[in-house]
Amino acid sequence: MNARVTQRHTGDPLPSWVEGPVKDAVLDVVRGADDEDSPRFVPVSDRVAAFDNDGTLWAEKPEPVQLRFLLGKLQDAVRNDPALADVEPYLALATGDRRFFGAVADQDPDAVGALLHAIGQAWAGASAEEFDAEVRRYFESERHERFGCRFTDLVYAPMRELIDLMHAHGWRVFVCSGGGRDFMRVIAEQSWGLHRERVIGSAPDHAYRDGQVVRVAAMSEPLALGPGKPEHLYSRTGQLPVFACGNGDVDVEMLQSSTFALVIDHDDPEREYAYTDGATRVLDAARTRGWTTVSMREDWSRVFTWDR
Amino acid sequence: MNARVTQRHTGDPLPSWVEGPVKDAVLDVVRGADDEDSPRFVPVSDRVAAFDNDGTLWAEKPEPVQLRFLLGKLQDAVRNDPALADVEPYLALATGDRRFFGAVADQDPDAVGALLHAIGQAWAGASAEEFDAEVRRYFESERHERFGCRFTDLVYAPMRELIDLMHAHGWRVFVCSGGGRDFMRVIAEQSWGLHRERVIGSAPDHAYRDGQVVRVAAMSEPLALGPGKPEHLYSRTGQLPVFACGNGDVDVEMLQSSTFALVIDHDDPEREYAYTDGATRVLDAARTRGWTTVSMREDWSRVFTWDR
């Protein structure tokens, strides 16, 4: 794969990680898998690692890029059909009323259902190629509010190094995100050096019609959030992950299902963001269960490839 | 992967294939993918191949081993609860009435629904580990009626050589079978040299509960049959296959969705079986569309590893 940076066997395979116990723990797990005499040994067939995406592999503030993409699409829909503005979620978008999205964030079933229905409708009938092209155009045209870069340039340099190191040690790395599977697949190779089939996420159903794959409005599988993460991972890989990494409360079950859990703590307001919203449960679980926690401020010598 | 036989760069990579146009066509496609100047060139990221299982990777007569496994389980259920014998599919099993299974074979929705419901009930609440252990015991204990061997010894030697050759040329090989995904995953590594995540198939839902994955009775995703095959392949891999291989009418859509289609014709009653039931449409399509067709009798110098 072109985009993949092969690790050299000499030199530091994780140059963006600060020397210390967190880096040591990560190196032990990744490299220990090779050593049959190590308690960290993992048979090759079981070396499955799972990474959340938003806030784990790239920045998710001020809002995940995919949420931005989805809401833009719904705003287009209501512009094309003003009658939609009478119902949620279009009503909330048209009036700027934040209560509806607060209810979505709180996992209110009616609000989540209305949002998913609108998203399903937005692309119903689009071919896979059409959807991919729309996503590609979006990444080309949009820039991050604070950093001014493309959203694909918000991938964390230390995580890209970690993925490459895992590949060098025979791990199969999967992204497992609550975000849209097909949205992420468009940028998976360039961003993470991962083939499309390594991306697991939420997705509508697709139908094979007239020789092509077409999106339909229904969504039969659960969202890849909370218990949905280990469920999707089992469905796709036939096992629970040996290594898992996340940063949000929706990652707790995936982390708990793994042998080694790594949590990203966003405590770096200068280089990235400092926040614990949506992460209080996972940070508590990390303390209670002894999961390894990365302080972005302390444990990463650079966050983005352009730092320093 | 231990079970994988690495192809040597010297010598014949497909020793069980008879020299001729079929072998040449297969070698052209598999190796041509590497050659940027060839019309067969395929970028590494797109090198996805899909193989049906029953009748394509191993023998499916007198009945697919998994059907045998499922029916045995349903017979156990009716022995434990004789009241079940009043309803289908248990009634058909108890009385030997073949009409119900004829209706299943004809894809009658009521019959298929009743059978899937019974299968869902049979393992509802079983953990993934328990199910795997049951499948493993089955493969250990059961023998094929005609050949007297384990069912895992019914893998076609030429197909195993082809999978290994594809791996050597950077293809990612997936099994895409209407059969049970989790059943096949148990033997995927030993039989085909494939990690579990390379097996796509029909499956019930699973729930993550109390730290483990448990089978539930419902089945949200479609069966991986007919159009369900390209749909499952898109869902799992993010693309349609470049190379596809099958032998049954339920493979037509998957073959049609691929760039290169290979069809296995069972015309070898001495070494295997001769039949066209469930394959008339696919054999017609192969003729009409110019798909490459393997005559087991003419194109394979051995069928099973123990031949000759």
Q: What is the pLDDT of residues B93-102, one digit of tens each?
A: 888 888 988 8
pLDDT at B8 over 60: no
Residues of B in contact with A204 (CB under 8 A): none
Q: What is the pLDDT of residues A215-264, one digit of tens each?
A: 999 998 889 999 999 999 999 999 999 999 999 999 999 999 999 999 99
Q: What is the DSSP letter of A247?
A: -
Instruction: Label residue B237 exposed, middle or buried (CB < 10 Å: 0-12, 13-18, 19+).
Output: buried
Q: Is there a contact between A127 and A209 (Cβ–Cβ < 8 Å)?
A: no
Closest chain B CA to residue A197? B237
What's the rounded mean pLDDT across residues A279-294? Answer: 98
The DSSP line for B282-305 is HHHHHHHHT-EEEEHHHHBS-SST
- Torsion angle defined by CA atoms of residues A238, B179, B2 and A233, in that order, rounded to the nearest 10 degrees: -10
pLDDT at A3 over 90: no
pLDDT at A8 over 50: no
CA distances for A140 relative to A131, B90, B275, B294, angstroms: 14, 58, 54, 46
**pLDDT of the residue at B142:** 97
Phi and psi of A132, rounded to 5°?
-60, -45
Closest CA to A75 of A92, A100, A61, A97: A92
Query: Shortest CB distance from B195 goes to which of A45, A195, A234?
Result: A45
Between B162 and B107, the more confident residue is: B162
Between A119 and A133, the more confident residue is: A133
**pLDDT of the residue at B5:** 45
pLDDT at B2 over 90: no
Query: Shortest CB distance from A231 goes to which of B45, B48, B206?
Result: B206
What's the rounded mean pLDDT across residues B160-182? Answer: 97
What's the rounded mean pLDDT across residues A115-121? Answer: 90
Residues 6+ apart with CB under 8 A from B92: B98, B99, B100, B101
pLDDT at B1 over 60: no
Query: Shortest CB distance from B213 goes to which of A128, A221, A240?
Result: A240
Tell me the average pLDDT of chain B: 94
pLDDT at A297 over 80: yes
When scoring B234, B257, B258 by the number of chain A Cβ atoms within 10 A, the one with the most, hence best to mutate, is B234
User: Cα B84 to the chain's mean position, in Å?
Assistant: 31
Question: Can you state the angle between helices B109-123 and B65-80, rounded to 10 degrees?
Answer: 70
**pLDDT of the residue at A94:** 83
Helix (H) or strand (E) holding A191: helix A188-192
Q: CA A56 to CA A41: how far, in whole Å?
A: 25
- Asked if omega into B62 is within 30° of 0 (cis), the reply is yes
- Cβ of A235 within 8 Å of Cβ of B182? The answer is no
Q: Is there a contact between A228 and A264 (Cβ–Cβ < 8 Å)?
A: no
Q: CA A302 to CA A280: how far, in whole Å?
A: 25
- What is the sign of the dihedral through the CA atoms of B234, B235, B237 and B243? negative
Phi and psi of A206, rounded to 5°?
-130, 150
Residue A220 in 3-state DSSP? coil
Residues of B in contact with A207 (CB under 8 A): 227, 231
Q: How confident is the model at residue A59 (pLDDT cuts 50, 70, 90)?
A: very high
Chain A residues within 8 angstroms (CB to CB) of chain B: 1-2, 44-45, 48, 128, 172, 181-182, 185, 189, 195-197, 199, 203, 205-209, 211, 213, 220-221, 227-231, 234-240, 253, 256-257
pLDDT at A214 over 80: yes
Q: What is the pLDDT of residues A159-207, one digit of tens each?
A: 999 999 999 999 999 999 999 999 999 999 999 999 999 999 999 999 9
Helix (H) or strand (E) holding A214: strand A212-215
pLDDT at B129 over 90: yes
Q: What percent of chain A shows pLDDT beyond 70?
A: 97
Q: CA A42 to CA A32: how far, in whole Å?
A: 8
**pLDDT of the residue at B62:** 95
Strands (E), chain B: 48-51, 172-180, 199-202, 206-209, 212-215, 243-246, 260-265, 292-295
- Cβ of B197 within 8 Å of Cβ of A237? The answer is yes
Cα angle at B76 between B71 and B80, to 5 degrees? 145
Helix (H) or strand (E) holding A289: helix A280-289
Query: Shortest CB distance from B208 goes to which of A207, A230, A239?
Result: A230
Q: How confident is the model at residue A7 (pLDDT cuts 50, 70, 90)?
A: very low
Q: How confident is the model at residue B10 (pLDDT cuts 50, 70, 90)?
A: low
Residue A224 in 3-state DSSP? coil
Q: CA A144 to CA A272: how far, in whole Å?
A: 12
Q: Which residues of B164-180 are buried (b: 16+ CB within 10 A; e: fewer)?
A: bbbbbbebbbbbbbbbb
The number of C-beta contacts closer than 8 angstroms across A and B is 88
pLDDT at A299 over 70: yes
- Cβ of B208 within 8 Å of Cβ of A231? The answer is yes
Across A60-74, B106-120, B263-277, least confident range:
B106-120
Residue A100 in 3-state DSSP? helix
pLDDT at B9 over 60: no
Q: CA B205 to CA B50: how far, in whole Å?
A: 23
What's the rounded mean pLDDT across residues B174-197? Answer: 97
Query: Shortest CB distance from B196 goes to which of A44, A199, A239?
Result: A239
Closest chain A CA to residue B195? A45
Closest CA to A213 of A123, A282, A150: A123
Residues 6+ apart with CB under 8 A from B226: B250, B252, B253
Q: What is the pLDDT of residues B22-77, one digit of tens each?
A: 999 999 999 999 999 999 999 999 999 999 999 999 999 999 999 999 999 999 99
Q: What is the pLDDT of residues A22-51, one digit of tens each?
A: 999 999 999 999 999 999 999 999 999 999
Query: Shortest CB distance from A128 goes to which of B213, B220, B234?
Result: B234
Q: Is there a contact between B143 and B149 (Cβ–Cβ < 8 Å)?
A: yes
Instruction: Label residue A211 exposed, middle or buried (CB < 10 Å: 0-12, 13-18, 19+).
Output: exposed
Q: Is there a contact between B242 and B47 (Cβ–Cβ < 8 Å)?
A: yes
When scoring B214, B235, B251 by the number of chain A Cβ atoms within 10 A, the one with the most, hence best to mutate, is B235
**pLDDT of the residue at A10:** 56
**pLDDT of the residue at B95:** 86
User: Cα A142 to the chain's mean position, in Å?
Assistant: 19
Q: Kindly tell me the number of DSSP H helices and DSSP E strands found in chain B.
A: 13, 8
Residues 6+ apart with CB under 8 A from B54: B60, B64, B66, B177, B178, B179, B248
Q: What percent of chain A shows pLDDT beyond 90?
A: 84
pLDDT at A14 over 60: yes
Q: CA B108 to CA B88: how far, in whole Å?
A: 13
Closest chain A CA to residue B234? A213
Residues 6+ apart with CB under 8 A from A195: A1, A188, A189, B45, B172
Q: Kindly tell me the number of DSSP H helices and DSSP E strands found in chain A.
A: 13, 8
Single-letter code of the amino acid located at A263: V
Residue B273 in 3-state DSSP? coil
Paired sense of beta strands B206-209 and B212-215, if any: antiparallel
Largest CA distance in chain A: 67
Between B2 and B43, the more confident residue is: B43
